[in-house]
Amino acid sequence: PDVAKSQCDKSFQLFAKALTGTTIAIDGLTASCTVQDIMMDVELKSQVPMRKFHLSLHGMRWADPWIIS
């Protein structure tokens, strides 16, 4: 089996927490997902437009062209 291919195909779950304390689970993400992909998923689940929120990790804001891997 192709080990590199199998690792890239794995999906994972990400949890986004709003300032209100609400937690949103985003399923089916892969290493090739971009921040834009995640933001679209958050928008669909939360009904909050992308222009009204941002994603950050350890105080660092995620930029749109970044890939999660």
Summarize pLDDT for 54-63 with one digit per residue, the tens. 888 888 888 7
Contacts of 18 (CB under 8 A, 6+ apart): 24, 46, 48, 53
**Separation CA 41–CA 10 (nearest Å):** 18
Write the pLDDT tens digit of every residue in 13-24.
888 888 788 899
Report the residue count for the chain: 69
What's the mean pLDDT in 15-43?
Answer: 87
What's the mean pLDDT in 20-31?
Answer: 87
What secondary structure letter does DSSP report for 50?
Answer: G
Q: Which amino acid is at 13?
A: Q
**Separation CA 23–CA 54 (nearest Å):** 14
What's the mean pLDDT in 25-32?
Answer: 88
- The model carries a pTM of 0.70
For residue 2, pLDDT beyond 80: no
